[in-house]
Structure 1
Amino acid sequence: MPGLHRRNLCKFGAAVLASPPLLASFPATAQEAPIARPPAGALRGAAQGRVLAFKGIPYAAPPVGPLRYRSPQGLSPWTGERDATRAGAASIQTIPPWATWLYDKPASMGEDCLTLNIWTPALEGRRPVMVWIHGGAWRTGEGVAAGNDGTALARLGDVVVVTVNYRLGALGFLAHPTLKDPVTGAAANWGVQDQVAALRWVRANIEAFGGDPDNVTLFGQSAGGTSVANIAPNPANHGLVHKMIIQSGAFLGPPDLPDLAGAAAYAEALAAKLETTVPGLRGVPAERLHTTELALAREWGARNGGRVPVLPIADGVVIPAAPRGAGLPAMPLLIGTTRDEAAFWYDLLDPDGRRIPGLPSPTDEASLLRMAGALKDGSRPRSTASPEAVVDAYRRAAARRGEPTELNALWMAIYTDLRFRLDALEAARRHAASGQPAFLYEFAHPLAGKARGVPHCAEVPFVFGTHTDPYFAAKSGTGPAEAALARAMMQGWSSFARAGVPSSEEGGAWQPVSSSGEGVNLLGGEGGPRRIERVVRAEELEVWGS
C-alpha cells in the first residue's frame, strides 16, 4: 500500500503463474544477452527464463523544447547496439493516494518519456502482439509498473507484450488553437498521438521480436481502455489494431469530454498563472509547468464540478468523435468492468483495513440526490429518470439482495453503473448487434486481507499474472484460487489476441454477449475462475431503460 516500494524479490520458480522479478534486477551476461535487429536499430535486451525483455526503446523524438505540444516526431535509425535492459523515464506525474494501489512512484520521471517495452518468448516466429496502454486518468502510470510487467503474460500466452509510456497531464493533454501542429493540424491530444506513434513503431518493427504486425491487440485499463476506444475507430489508424480489449474504460461524452474551446480557456488560465502566453508554455520548465497546473486543476475543479479539461478531447483530427457517440470498428471486442469500480475512489482500504484517502462521499440524502442528479446528467443525458427514482430503485434492489443501503453504498453503486458498467454493456451489445464478435466480462474477485469489494484496477495484476509481486501480494491474494484465476485470465486474454475468442483450460471458450446484452462472463469470486450470468444488476438497469 502507500509507502510500500516495489522490490521485485520473487524468485523465478517453476510454477507457471509465479510472478517473476523485473528483468533489470537480474542482468544477463554478455553471452546470454539477446540482440534484436529491427529497422529502428539493433537492441541488446535481457534474458530471463523463457522470456526476453527489451526496455526503454524510443519510438519518437524526445518531446522537449520546441517539440513540446507538437505531434510526435520520427527518429532516425541508430547505429550500433543500443542498450535496452533498463526502462525509460515515466512522464512527469504526481500520484494521488488511491492510485498508489496500482502505481508505485516511478524510478525516474522526465519530459523525455516516449519509450516502450517489449517482452517476447523468442525473436523468431510470428506471435500475436498485445500493446498495453496504461491507465491513470491521463495523469499517472508507466509501462514498467509492477502490475503490468509483461513477463508472465508473454510466457504463458506465447504472445509478444508491449507497454507504452506517453505524455501525461499538462504535458500530454493541454489543448489550444495556437498550439496547432503545422504538419498534422492537431492542437490537442498529444498523449493520444504518442500512443498512435507507438503503434506505428510496432507495425514497422515488431517482426524482429517474434511478433506478427498483422495481429495486434490494443488493450488498456481505465484511461487506457478509453484510449483504445479513442484510437481504434479513427480511419487514419486503420491497420494498426486488429482486436480491442477495453478494461474499465469510460466512454466519455459531453460535458465530461471538453471541446477545444473549453480546453483552450483552461490553457489560457494556466498561461496567465505562469505569466506567459499559451505558446510561451513551451519554454516553462517542465516541473514548474506540472506543479502549477496541478494547483490550477484543484481550483478549476472546485468551480466546475470536478471537471478539468486535461484529458482527450474530440478534436476532429486525432479523435474524430467522442467515444460514446462513435461506433467501434469491425474487429473482435473484449470489454468489461470490476464489480465495485467506485470503491477505488470512495471506499478503498489497505489489507490491514486502513482507509486510503479518497473523494468526498454524500453526507445526507439531499447530497446523495444532488450528486446522483449531476452524475446522471453528465453521464447519460438521454435518461429521463429523476434522481429520486434512481436512488429509490438502487435502495430497493440492494435491500432485496441483502446488501448495504447506506448513503455511500448507494452512491458507489450508482457511480459504478453510470461511469463504467452501462457503457461497457452498451458498447458490447451494440458491437454484437453489428455482427462483430463481442465478449463482456465482470471481474468479481474481492480484495484480500481486511480490504473489501472489487474496486477499479483490481483485475490488472491477474491479467498480467503479477498478483504475487510484493507490491500486490497482500492486496490481491496469493492462494490457489488467485493462481487459478490469474492463469484463466492470462489464457483468456492471450487466446483472444490469437484468434478473437477468449478461452481457457477450465471452461473452454467464453460465451459471447448477445445483441440484447445478455451473457456476462463473471471472473473470480465464489464461483471460481469463470462462470456465466445472464444479466448483472438487472433491477438497477431497469431504471436506466437498459
Structure 2
Amino acid sequence: MSINRRTFFSKTGIGLTAYSMGIISPISCANSTSENSNVETEKSEQQLFIGEDIALADTVYGKVKGYILRDIYTFKGIPYGESTAGKNRFMPPKKPKKWEGVKPTVFYGNSAPQNIYDRSPNSYAAFVDHWNYDELSEDCLRLNIWSPGIDQKKRPVLVWLHGGGFARGNGIEQDGYNGENISRYGDIVYCSINHRLGPLGFTNLSFADPKYKDSANVGMLDIIAALEWIQENIENFGGDPNNVTVMGQSGGGAKVCNVATMPAAKGLVHKGIALSGTSIQGMDESYSKKLGEYILREANLTENEIDQLQNIPWSEYLNISHQAYEKLKKDLNNPELTRGGFAPVADGMNIPKETYFSNNTTEQPDIPMLFCSTFHEWNPNRDTPDLENISIKELIDTLTPHYGAKTSAIIEGYIKDFPKAKPIEIWALISSNRKHVIEAANAKLTQKSPVYLAWFGWESPLFDGRHRAFHCIDISFWFLNTDLMITHTGGGDAPRKLSIKMADALISFMKTNDPNTSSLPKWPTYTKEGIETMILNDACEVKLDPDGNGRNKI
C-alpha cells in the first residue's frame, strides 16, 4: 500500500493546500507549518541538486548522471536503442552502443518524426494541452526515469506509453505525464518512453525483401526494447524488474493492449492499464502490404530499389507515405479497412492474427488489466457554446446521419441511463460510448488474470462548464498532477481529493494486482454479466452496467 498522505506531504515540507499535485508550488519550504518544518533551513530551501557525484547510476551500457529534484532522482533522455536512421530504418531496434565515462541525462530526448499538433496562438487545443515538443529526429529511442532512490530497494515500476494514436506524441507531451509526484507518493519508479511512430514505425515492406519482415511493427518492437532495457537496468534505479506495469492513454491504451498480447512481452510486463484507448485486433496484413506497395510506387522505386527508402530524409518520407495512403484510401473506398493508416499489423509473429487474448497459449502474457474511459471523451461543444441548449429534436436530426433508424432508440436508452443529463450531455455520452472498452474487457476475460473497469465522470469547470469529462482529463488524476495540468482541471482542492483516491488505487494495483483501497468503495472484478464499473467522481461508487440501455443499442 502507498505511504500515508500526511507522510507524503510532510516529506515535501509543505501542506496539501499549498501543494501543486503536479509540481511543488513556488513557496519556501522554510515557511511551512508542516510537522517536519523544523528541518535545517539551509537544507530545506534547496530543492534541486546536480553535480559530479550526484544522481549517478549504472547501466549495462555505461554510467548516467541525472539530478535530484525534491528528493526524486530524475534521469531524462537515456538511450535504450541506437538511432533508427539510415540502415536501421524499418529494422528492429538495436541495443545502444556502450560508452566510456558518464553520460549526462538531464533533458528529454528527441521525439519521433511526426506531424505535430497545431500550436498556433488561436488554438484552444494548444492552450488546453500545451504540447511539449522539442527536436524531432530518428534518434528517438529514449526513456525517462523518476525514482525515490538509487538503492537496493525493489520498487514497483510504471512504464507510461503516450497517446497520439500511433502517429503523434512523446513521453512528456503533456505536463500531466510528469512522474515526480506519483513516484514520491507511491514509492514507485516511473518511466516514460519515446518510440517510432506513423510510417517510420509501421510501414510493411515485407513483400519486397525478407530482411524487412518486422518493418510493419518496429514501433511496437521499440516498446519491447524499452521493456528489455528496464528488465536489464531498472534495479540500478531502485526498481523491481519483476513488477512492471504498462499504462497508457488513447493510442497509449491501445499500445498497452498490444503489449499485453505480444509473445515478446511475456515476462517483461506484469500488469496493464489502458485509459481511453483499446485494441483487440491488429491491422489487416494484406492491406498493410498494399499500402507498402503504394509507398514504393509514390517514391518512384521498384522492389529491387527498396533500400533507397532508407536514404530519403524522414520529412520527405512522411510526405510520400501520407500521399500514398490517401491514394490507397481512395482506390479501396473501404473506411473500415483503411481507418488509421499506419498502426500495428497482425503479422502472426509480433502481433497475433487472432482476436487479442483469445489464443490461450503459454506464449503470450496473461496479466491483470484495468480499463478506464471518460464520460465525455468527445464532447462536441467545448468551442461552440451555441450547442449547449440543443433540443432533443435537434439532437435526433444531428445524429440520424450517423446512426440511421436506431437514432431515437439510442437517445432514449441514454436518457434512461442518465435521466438528469442535458441533450448536449447525451450527445457527448453517445459519441464517447464505451462499446470498444467493453469489447476489450470481455476479450481479456478469456484469460485467467483479473480485469477491472472504471469510468471517469469528474467534469472540468473550464470553458463555462463545457469542458466536461473530456478525452485526456483523467491522466493527471492518476499521477497527482491536477494542479500541474491546470488547463485540464482548473486546479484546486476538488480535483486533488479525487486524484489521491485514484493514485491510491493505481499504487494498490501495481503492488497487489488489485486496485482496492480504503480510499474507494469495494471494487469488484469485472464480469460480462455485471459490467461492474467503478465510477470515478467527487463521490465514487460502483454501478452495474451504468450505460447499458443506451450503449447496447449502438
TM range, normalised to the smaller chain? 0.7 to 0.9
Distance 1:497 1:192 in 2: 23
Q: Secondary structure at the match of 2:244?
A: strand
Q: Does 1:463 align with 2:492?
A: no
Match of 1:377 in 2: none
Q: Quick check: which has more Rg, 1 or 2?
A: 2
Are 1:59 and 2:80 matched, yes or no? yes
* Superposed displacement of residue 292, structure 1: 3.8
Paired with 1:131 and 1:179, the residues of 2 have a C-alpha distance of: 35
- Hey, what does 1:416 align to over in structure 2? 432
Equivalent runs, 1:44-123 vs 2, <5 Å: 44-97=65-118, 100=126, 101-102=128-129, 104-123=131-150
Which residue number in structure 2 is paired with residue 311 of structure 1?
343
Whether contact under 8 Å (1:38, 1:207) holds in the other structure is: no
1:240-270 Cα distance to aligned partner (Å, 9 max, x none): 01111111223254xxx53222122223323
Q: What number of residue pairs does the alignment pair up? A: 491
**1:474-496 superposed Cα distances (whole Å, 9 cap, x missing partner):** 33121211011111222211221
Q: CA deviation at 1:273?
A: 2.9
Within the candidate set 250, 275, 279, 1:222 is matched to 250
Q: What is residue 371 of structure 2 aligned with on the other side?
A: 335
Shift of 1:155: 0.9
Displacement of 1:215 after TM fit? 0.6
Q: How much does 1:83 deviate?
A: 0.5
Q: 1:230 to 1:43 in 2, by over 3 A?
A: same
Amino acid at match of 2:176: G
Superposition map of 1:207-356 within 5 A: 207-253=235-281, 258-277=283-302, 278-297=306-325, 303-305=333-335, 307-321=339-353, 323-324=355-356, 326=358, 329-343=365-379, 346-349=380-383
- Equivalent residues in 2 for 1:126-525, closer than 5 Å: 126-145=154-173, 146-178=175-207, 182=211, 185-253=213-281, 258-277=283-302, 278-297=306-325, 303-305=333-335, 307-321=339-353, 323-324=355-356, 326=358, 329-343=365-379, 346-349=380-383, 368-372=399-403, 387-389=404-406, 391-400=407-416, 401-405=419-423, 410=427, 412-417=428-433, 421-429=434-442, 431-432=444-445, 434-450=447-463, 451-469=466-484, 472-507=485-520, 510-525=523-538
Match of 2:21 in 1: 18
1:326-352 CA deviation, whole Å, 9 max, x = no partner? 468432211121112233xx44449xx
* CA drift at 1:531: 1.7
User: How much identity, in percent, do the aligned residues show?
Assistant: 26
- Deviation of the 1:32 alpha carbon: 6.7
Mapped contact 1:71–1:186 kept (Cα < 8 A)? yes
TM-score by length of 2: 0.81
User: Relative to structure 2, which stretch is displaced further, 54-63 or 279-288?
Assistant: 279-288
Q: Provide the C-alpha distance between the structure 2 equivalents of 1:434 and 1:211, rounded to a whole number of angstroms.
A: 28
Unaligned runs of 5+ in 1: 1-10, 356-362, 373-386
CA contact (8 A) 1:61 1:114 kept: yes
| Partner residue in 1 for 2:9 | none
Matched with 2:545 is 535
> Do the aligned partners of 2:183 and 2:190 also contact (CA within 8 Å) in 1?
yes
| Structure 2, unpaired ranges of 5+ | 1-11, 26-46, 119-123, 388-393
Partners of 1:128 and 1:498 within 8 A in 2: yes
Which residue identity lines up with residue 403 of structure 1 in the other structure? A
Shift in Å, 1:462 = 1.3
Contact in 2 for aligned 1:335/1:440 (Cα 8 Å): yes
Q: 1:5: which partner in 2? A: none
Equivalents in 2 of 1:137, 1:489: separation in Å?
Answer: 24
Partner amino acid, structure 2, of 1:211 = G
CA distance in 2 between counterparts of 1:435 and 1:490 reads 26
CA 490–300 in structure 1, closer or farther in 2 if over 3 Å, else same: farther
Structure 2 distance, partners of 1:289, 1:21, is 42
Residues 321 and 21 of structure 1, relative CA distance in 2, 3 Å threshold: farther
Q: 1:376 — aligned with what?
A: none
Q: Shift of the alpha carbon at 1:291?
A: 3.4
SS at match of 2:455: strand
- 8 Å CA contact 1:46–1:53 kept in 2: the answer is yes
Shift of 1:436: 2.5
Alpha carbons 2:66, 2:73 under 8 Å: kept: yes
CA deviation profile, 1:79-123 (whole Å, cap 9, x unmatched)? 211111111001122234586444614022111100111111101
Q: Distance in 1 between matches of 2:450 and 2:114?
A: 37
TM-score normalised by structure 1 residue count = 0.82
What SS does the corresponding residue of 1:62 show, helix, strand or coil? coil
Deviation string, structure 1 residues 381-402 (Cα, Å, up to 9, x no partner): xxxxxx523x232121244425
Report the CA distance shift for 1:168/1:430 in structure 2 as closer, same or farther (over 3 A). closer
